[in-house]
Structure 1
């Protein structure tokens, strides 16, 4: 998911990637805070973006910069769908759920990104997927957190994401007038995977301009 950024930004920052799947966002945020440096720049996509907002809410003084992509700051609007998805994964429909998710997340014409995501989801395993699905039910409303934040912020949004529409990214940008906002035509739910080079370029410029490198 972030391989291109780990390679392309390491001369400016010291990148580290974590995959967290505790039962609640609070628990995963605590794990991240316990292992992170005292001050750090935090990036997250989709589920990871929601977790990044949880970390910001819990320890704003430790977040030096924030990079969010295609994530929903509000509480999950469809809890019954989440429970059904988790149940299907645990009942042996992991591959079917991955296939459905991939069709909605990444445009059909981007077969390379689709194949990469399917491989990553399978490698992560069914139980991790189900736990992350469960954890979305513990997601809090973080619109006030974003509105109150003054940390340097980068927003990159895939324009054709079916899960978190472009308007959500624009709404965040309006709540955070200091944030830098970029939308990517033809890109779906995972900008750093689908548009690796351009995301790295945008991030490099932001890190330098914000004095974070």
Structure 2
């Protein structure tokens, strides 16, 4: 089922019944990055997968990551219809979810932050600046190989040519201006001083081989949150739900409410 929220500005796909579970996609991917895990999650939850503002059919919003987080707070509030909500964000979606939790305390009852962090080091910031500059000068096609390396290890790419073809096509559909703005926002972002405002349980997850948001970022994030646990997913990079759906589901199963545990 497809619906629109926040006065029709954000489009979502929905599957299943039960408590609402929101899945926020990464910058270098799209809503389809959750296709491999949504069917099992939908056995216990009403899974809501938005196209983040500026992606797909969802309207862009001015004002940086804070404004994007506010827009997604509208979506979570409207779509939850008074029920306790869980929000899972991967990569850029994790940064959005974290900013949303800081700015809208209590909106989500649990957070799962996969392969993100609270701030990048200078090397990470420079990588975003370079991607923004290259995409502006030469277009997204000029950085597609770089983008895919940030998502998947070379060995995985070699072993899954069909998946990689699909992921490249998805990336090239990204609005270039939205992409550049997101890169610039992430290059300046530092949420570390505000982490103590997040008072709900948080599961911080990271792929063992994630180069885009490496393990030290997740360690720092988990240490800075009042109630967080850290899980490292072996053999995975930046999008573990695509690289190893089974390990991803196993990693989140014991964090989800017991009455709605995910089959593994």
| Normalised TM-score (structure 1) | 0.84
The question of whether the paired residues in 2 share the 8 Å contact of 1:65 and 1:153 is answered with yes
The 3 A distance-change label for structure 1 pair 130 and 83 is farther
Task: Give the secondary structure class of the aligned counterpart of 2:146.
Answer: helix
Residues in 2 aligned to 1:42 and 1:152: alpha-carbon distance in whole angstroms:
11
Residues in 2 aligned to 1:129 and 1:114: alpha-carbon distance in whole angstroms:
25
Hey, what does 2:98 align to over in structure 1?
53
Residues in 2 aligned to 1:181 and 1:188: alpha-carbon distance in whole angstroms:
16
How many residues align? The count is 212
Deviation string 1:114-145 (CA, Å, 9 cap, x unpaired) is 75355235235455254133124335422233
**Which is helix-richer, 1 or 2?**
1
Residues in 2 aligned to 1:114 and 1:149: alpha-carbon distance in whole angstroms:
40
Residues in 2 aligned to 1:45 and 1:62: alpha-carbon distance in whole angstroms:
18
For residue 62 of structure 1, report the CA deviation from its aligned partner.
Answer: 0.7
Does 2:22 correspond to 1:15?
A: no
1:77-156, aligned counterparts within 5 Å?
77=122, 81-111=127-157, 115-116=162-163, 118-123=165-170, 125-139=172-186, 140-156=189-205
Give the alignment's Cα RMSD to 1 decimal: 2.7
Hey, what does 2:218 align to over in structure 1?
169
Hey, what does 2:68 align to over in structure 1?
28
Q: Which runs of 5+ in 2 are unaligned?
A: 1-32, 55-59
Q: Which runs of 5+ in 1 are unaligned?
A: none
| Normalised TM-score (structure 2) | 0.69
Residues in 2 aligned to 1:133 and 1:174: alpha-carbon distance in whole angstroms:
30
Greater mean alpha carbon deviation, residues 140-149 or residues 116-125: 116-125
Greater mean alpha carbon deviation, residues 102-111 or residues 118-127: 118-127
Residues in 2 aligned to 1:113 and 1:60: alpha-carbon distance in whole angstroms:
40
Residues in 2 aligned to 1:51 and 1:172: alpha-carbon distance in whole angstroms:
14
The equivalent position to 2:246 in structure 1, one of 191, 197, 207, is 197
Residues in 1 aligned to 2:160 and 2:90: alpha-carbon distance in whole angstroms:
15
1:174-185, aligned counterparts within 5 Å?
174-176=223-225, 178-185=227-234
Residues in 2 aligned to 1:123 and 1:136: alpha-carbon distance in whole angstroms:
17
For residue 68 of structure 1, report the CA deviation from its aligned partner.
Answer: 0.4
Task: Give the secondary structure class of the aligned counterpart of 2:88.
Answer: strand
Residues in 1 aligned to 2:120 and 2:232: alpha-carbon distance in whole angstroms:
23
Task: Give the secondary structure class of the aligned counterpart of 1:154.
Answer: strand
Task: Give the secondary structure class of the aligned counterpart of 2:175.
Answer: helix
